[in-house]
Chains A and B, each alone.
Chain A
Amino acid sequence: MIKTRHKRLAVAAGAMLGVGAIAALVLNAFQSNMVFFYSPSQVAANEAPSNRTFRVGGLVETGTVHRDGLKVSFVVTDTAKTVPVSYQGILPDLFQEGKGVVAQGQLQDGVFVAREVLAKHDENYMPPEAADAIQRAQRGQSRLEQSVVQQYRPDAASTMPYVVGKQP
C-alpha cells in the first residue's frame, strides 16, 4: 500500500516540522527573556547593558532611602561601588536599610529604574545574588572588614520567600 505509506511519511514529516517549530519558539523565547545579574561594581564599570532588562543586587545603603508619595529612591551597594535605584510603588515587607535587595529593571541615565524589587523575607537572609556581588567586591578590595559579609552569609538560610514588589 504505497498510498498509506506516503500518508504516514507525510504525517511523520508534519510532526517533525511541528516539533521543530515548537523548539524554535521555545529557544527564541528563552533567548529573549533571559535576565542577567550584574553587581554594582560591574554596573559602575559599564559592563551592564543599557537597553536591556537586568538585575542588580547588594545592600540597601543606610540613609539613602527617600520616599516621595509613591516614588522611592535608594542606593544599592556591594561595599565597593554603588548604583542609584528608583522605583514606584509599594516595597516588599522586609525592604530595609542595610539589608539585602535585588532589583530588576533598566539603566536610564545612570539611574537604575526598577520595575521589580525583591527582598528576602527574613532579617538574617541575603538574596544569593546580592551576597555573591558583595563577596566578589570584597575579594577585589581586601581592606574592607570581613564582618559586613559574614553577617549576611547566604548559608544562614531561611524558610522565607522573596517578596516581590511589582510595578503596575
Chain B
Amino acid sequence: MIPEVGHFALWLAVGVTLLLGTLPLVGAHRGRTDLMALARPATHVLLGLIVFSYGCLILSFVNNDFSVLNVASHSNTQLPLMYRIAATWGSHEGSLMLWLLMQAGWAWAVATFSKSLPLPVLSRILAVMGLLTLSFLLFVLFTSNPFDRIFPIPAEGRDLNPQLQDPGMIFHPPMLYMGYVGMSVAFAFAVAALIGGNLDVMWARWMRPWTTVAWAFLTFGIALGSWWAYYELGWGGWWFWDAVENASFMPWLVATALIHSLAVTEKRGSFKSWTVLLAIAGYSLALLGTFLVRSGVITSVHSFAADPKRGAFILVMLAVTVTAALTLYAWRAPKVGLGARFSSVSRESMLLANNVLFIVATAAVMLGTLYPLILDTLGLGKISVGPPYFDAVFVPIMAVLVFFMGLGPLARWKNDALPALAVRLRWAAGVTVVSAALTAWIGGKITLGSVLGLLMAYWILYTVLAELWERVRPAGGVQANVLHRLGQLPRATVGMMVAHVGVAVFVFGVTMVGTYDIERDVAMAPGESTTVSGYTFTFQGTQPVRGPNYEAIRGHLVVTRGGVQVSDMFPEKRVYKVQRNPMTEAAIDSRIYGDLYVQLGEPVAGEKWLVRIWVKPFVAWIWGGCLLMGLGGIWAVADRRYRVRATRESPTNAGGASVAR
C-alpha cells in the first residue's frame, strides 16, 4: 500500500507542476496578481508531495519491503538501518527521487527566502523551476518508477553494493545533488530575466547568493566524492579524470565562471548576456552529466543498469531544455543588453580572462570526455583518453588563471594601469619566488611541475595577503586600529579571500602529492619490514575477523619512524555475505603533513602477503582547500548587503517588474 501511495503522490505532483509551470507565467505576462499569487503556495504543495513520496520510499526500505523491486535489488535485512535509508539514493530510480526532492526543495527555498523579489519576477522563476521539476517527474514516472513491484516476492534483498556501505554514501550524493540542482536556480533566474527582458544590478544581486550557495554545495559534493574515492576504492588517488568525475567537474567550472561574471554584473552592470549564457550552460552541463551517468554510455561506480529508454529520455529532455533556453536567449538577449564599458586593464578585464579560461578548461574536459564516446557510438573505434591528456591541458590553463587570480582582486574596476598594479604587487611577487624556491629546496626534489605548483600556491596566498594589508593598513593620518578595520571588512570580501586561500591550499596539496608521493608494492612475510621515505612498516601477519554483514582477513602493520612507533595499521580484505565480492579496505593514517596508506593485496607463497604502501605528503590539503573554497562562498553569501536588501528594498521600484506593460 505504501509504495502505491508514494507513486500516487508523484502523479499529484505532476498536476501541481503543470499549474506552477503555466499559470504564474501567464499571470506575469498579463499582470494578473491572482495567477501570480499561485506560484508560492504551489511550490509549498509540491515540496510537501515530494517529501511525502520520498518518505514512502524510505519507509519501504526501512520495512524491508522486498515486493518493491528497487528495495529488493538494493537492500537487505542485514543492512544497517543507516544504510537502508541511504540506499534510497543508491539506485538509479532512488537517486532521481533525490534529485526531485532537491529540485522541490530549492523551489521552496526561493519562494520562502526571496521575499524582496517583485511578484512577477518570482512567479517567472518559480514557474521555470516548476517546468524543470515536471520534466524530471515525467522521467521518473515513465522510465524509472522507484515503486515498481515484483512478483514473486523474494525472501531476501540483493543488498547494497558493498562499496556504497560507507558514510560517504550518506553525505556525497545529497551534497552533490544540492549543487547540481542548485544550478537550476541560476538557470531559472536567467530564463526569467530573458522573459522579463531585464537584467539589472538588482537582478544580479538577487541571483548571486543563490548561485554562490549552489556552487559551494557543488564544491563540497565533488570534494567529498574525491575523498570517498580516495579512501574507499583503494586506488590511492584523489582524482582520476573519469568520465563521471568530469561530468560533475564541467558544471563546476562553468559555475565558477558564473559566480565571477555575476560579480561584474552586480558591481558594474557589465557581462549581462554573458552571465545569462553561463547560467544556461551550467544547468545544461548538469543535465549532460546526468545523461552521461544514467544512459549507460559510460561505465563507472556511478552507472546504473543501462536502459536505452532512459538515455533517450534524458537526451530529449536536454535537447528541449537547451533549445528552449537558447532560442529565448537569441530572441531576448539583445534586450538584456551588454552593460557598461571598461578598459583593457581593469578588474572587469581580469574577470573576463577568468571566464575565458574557465570556459576553455570546460571545453578541454568536454573534448576528452565526449570524444571517445562519440567515436564509439559511431563505431569508429574504441579509444580512451587518460589522465596524461587532462594533466597536460589543465596545468597550463590553471597556471594562467592563477596569475590573473592574483591580479584581479587588486585591480580597480573600470580602469587601472599595469605599472601601478605591478608596484602594488612587487612584494607579493618577490616573497612568492623566495618561498617557492625555499620550499622546493627543503623538499629536495625540483621539477618543473613542483616549482610551477608552488609558485601558483604562494602567489595566491601572498596576493590575498597584499590585498588584505591594503584594506586594513592604517591610512595616512587616520589613527585607525588594524584589528578594528579587519572586523569592518565586508563578509563578501572575506569570503572571497578565504575561497582564494582555499585554492592556494588545494594547489599546494596537489603539488606536494604529485611531486613527493611514493608508492611501493612489496611481498612481506610476518615479521618482515620495509622502509618507505623514513617510515618503517613491519608486517605482523593476518587474522580473520567478522563484521556485521561481511567476513574479512585483517592484516596488521606497525609503523615506526626513527625507532618510535607512529601508527598501527589494519588493512582488510572483505567478502560481503550477499554479493560475495572480495573488497579491499585500505588502512589510512591521515595527518596534516601527509597520509600513510596501506592496502592488502593477495597471499603469495607461504605466509607472505602482497602489501601496497603509499606515503602521500599533504594529501589532506586537497580536500581542506576545497572545504575552504566552499566555506568562503557561504561566508560571502552572509554579506550584509544581501540581508539588508531583503528588508529595506521596496518591491515596486525593483527591476524586472513588467506588471505595467
Give the B-binding residues of A (Cβ under 8 A).
Answer: 4, 7-8, 11, 15, 18-19, 22-23, 25-26, 29-30, 33-37, 55, 67, 69-70, 88-91, 93-94, 104, 120-123, 127-129, 132, 155, 157-164, 166, 168
Q: Once bound together, how far apart are the Cα atoms of A132 and B381, in whole Å?
A: 11
Closest A residue to B236 by beta carbon equals A166
Q: How far is the CB of A19 from chain B (nearest CB, A)?
A: 7
Max chain B Cβ within 10 angstroms of own Cβ: one of A22, A122, A168? A22
A166 to B389, CA, bound (A): 17
Contact with A along B351-386 (1 / 0, CB 8 A): 000001000100110011001000000000111111
B612 CB contacts on chain A under 8 angstroms = 89-90
B584 at the binding interface (Cβ < 8 Å): yes
B564 is an interface residue with CB less than 8 A from chain A: no
Check B381 against A35 for contact (C-beta < 8 Å).
Answer: no
Q: Which residues B318-362 have CB closer than 8 A to chain A?
A: 343-344, 349, 356, 360
Cα-based distance from A104 to B382 in the complex (angstroms): 13
Contact partner of B385 (CB less than 8 A), chosen from A35, A67, A90, is: A35
* A25 surroundings in chain B (CB, below 8 A): 392-393, 396
Chain A residues contacting B163 (CB-CB under 8 Å) are: 121, 160-161
Instruction: Please state if B601 and A90 are interface contacts (CB–CB under 8 Å).
Output: yes
Contact B599 A90 (CB under 8 A): yes
Interface of B is mostly: mixed
A30 to B371, CA, bound (A): 10
B356 close to A19 (CB less than 8 A): yes
Interface residue B473 (Cβ < 8 Å from any Cβ of A): no
Given A29-B389, A29-B393, A93-B583, A70 and B523 contact (CB-CB distance below 8 Å) = yes
Contacts of A155 in B (CB 8 A): 306
Across-interface contacts of A11 in B (CB, < 8 A): 344, 349
The answer to whether B384 touches A157, judged by C-beta atoms less than 8 angstroms apart, is: no
B300 contacts chain A at the CB level, 8 A cutoff = yes
Given contacts A70-B521, A161-B233, contact A36 B383 (CB under 8 A): yes
Question: Ordered nearest first, which 9 A-B pairs have the shortest CB separation?
Answer: A90-B601, A33-B389, A37-B382, A29-B392, A161-B301, A168-B519, A11-B344, A89-B521, A33-B388
Asked if B521 contacts A159 (CB within 8 A), the reply is no
Give chain A residues whose Cβ lies under 8 Å from the Cβ of B386: 33, 35, 104
Evaluate contact between B610 and A168: CB separation under 8 angstroms.
no
Please report whether the interface of chain A is mostly helix, strand, loop or mixed according to DSSP. mixed
Cβ contacts A to B, 6 pairs, < 8 Å? A19-B360, A29-B393, A30-B385, A36-B382, A104-B384, A161-B301
| Chain A min CB distance to B165 (Å) | 12
A9: min CB distance to chain B, Å: 10
Choose one: B240, B360, B388; the contact of A22 (CB below 8 Å): B360
A55 to B383, CA, bound (A): 8
Question: Is the Cβ of A132 less than 8 Å from the Cβ of B610?
Answer: no
Residues of B within 8 A of A123 (CB): 580-581
- The 8 A CB mask of B393-413 against A (1 = contact, 0 = none) is 100110010000000000000
Q: How far is the CB of B566 from chain A (nearest CB, A)?
A: 23
A70 touches B397 (CB 8 A): no
| B161 cross-chain contacts in A, Cβ below 8 A | 159-160
Please determine whether B385 and A34 come into contact, CB atoms closer than 8 angstroms.
yes
Q: Is the CB of A70 within 8 A of B381?
A: no
In the complex formed, the residue of B with least CB distance to A23 is B360
Contacts of A166 in B (CB 8 A): 235-236, 519
Contacts of B364 in A (CB 8 A): 26
Which A residue's beta carbon lies closest to that of B352?
A: A15
A69-B605, A93-B581, A157-B303 are known; give 18 further A-B pairs, CB within 8 A: A11-B344, A22-B396, A25-B392, A29-B389, A29-B392, A33-B385, A37-B384, A70-B610, A89-B521, A90-B599, A90-B601, A120-B299, A155-B306, A157-B296, A157-B299, A159-B303, A159-B305, A161-B301
Q: Is B304 an interface residue (CB 8 A)?
A: yes
Would A15 and B383 be within 8 Å (CB), given that A29-B393, A90-B602, A157-B305 are in contact?
no
One of A33, A36, A128 near B392 (C-beta < 8 A): A33
Closest to B579 in A: A122
B residues contacting the other copy or chain, number (CB 8 A):
57
Q: How far apart sit A8 and B346, CA to CA, in the bound complex (Å)? A: 13
Known: A90-B610, A164-B235. A8 touches B601 (CB 8 A): no
What B residues does A70 contact at CB under 8 A? 521-523, 610
Q: A57 to nearest B CB, angstroms?
A: 9
Given contacts A67-B604, A90-B599, contact A129 B382 (CB under 8 A): yes
Please tell me if B485 contacts chain A, counting CB pairs below 8 Å: no
Highest count of chain B CB atoms <10 Å: which of A25, A127, A132 = A25
Binary CB contact string for chain B from 430 to 465 against chain A (1 if under 8 A, 0 otherwise): 000000000000000000000000000000000000
Report B586-604 CB contacts with A as 1/0, cut-off 8 Å. Answer: 0000000000000101101
A69 & B392 in contact (Cβ 8 Å cutoff): no
Distance, CA A19 to CA B355, complexed state (A): 12
Contact B382 A122 (CB under 8 A): no
Q: A29-B392, A164-B235 are in contact. Are A37 and B383 (CB under 8 A)?
A: yes
Contact of B384 among A18, A19, A55, A161 (CB under 8 A): A55
Asked if A26 meets B303 with Cβ closer than 8 Å, knowing A33-B388, A34-B385, A157-B296, the reply is no
- Closest B residue, CB atoms, query A122: B581
- A-facing residues in B588-641 (Cβ within 8 Å): 599, 601-602, 604-605, 610, 612
Cβ 8 A contact of A121, one of B383, B397, B581: B581
Give, as a whole number of angstroms, the nearest-CB distance from A65 to chain B. 11
The CA-CA distance from A106 to B303 in the complex, in Å, is: 29
Give the CA-CA distance A93 to B306 in the complex, in Å: 24
Q: B385 contacts A159, CB within 8 Å?
A: no
Residues from chain A with a CB closer than 8 A to the CB of B303 are 157, 159
Q: Which residues of B contact A129 (CB under 8 A)?
A: 382
Q: How far is the CA of A157 from the CA of B304 in the complex (A)?
A: 7
Q: Which residues of B contact A19 (CB under 8 A)?
A: 356, 360
Q: Are A94 and B581 in contact (CB-based, < 8 A)?
A: yes
A4 cross-chain contacts in B, Cβ below 8 A:
343
Instruction: State how many angstroms separate the Cβ of A126 from the closest Cβ of chain B.
Output: 10
Q: A26-B393, A122-B581, A161-B163 are in contact. Are A7 and B599 (CB under 8 A)?
A: no
**CA of A168 to CA of B580, assembled, Å:** 29
B-chain residues with CB within 8 Å of residue A157 when the two chains form the complex: 296, 299, 303-306
Measured CB to CB, the closest approach of chain A to B245, in angstroms, equals: 12
Beta-carbon nearest neighbor of B601 in chain A: A90
Given the interface contacts A90-B521, A155-B306, A160-B301, does A35 sit within 8 Å of B392 by beta carbon? no
Q: Which residue of B lies closest to A132 (CB)?
A: B382
Docked CA distance A29–B368 (Å): 10
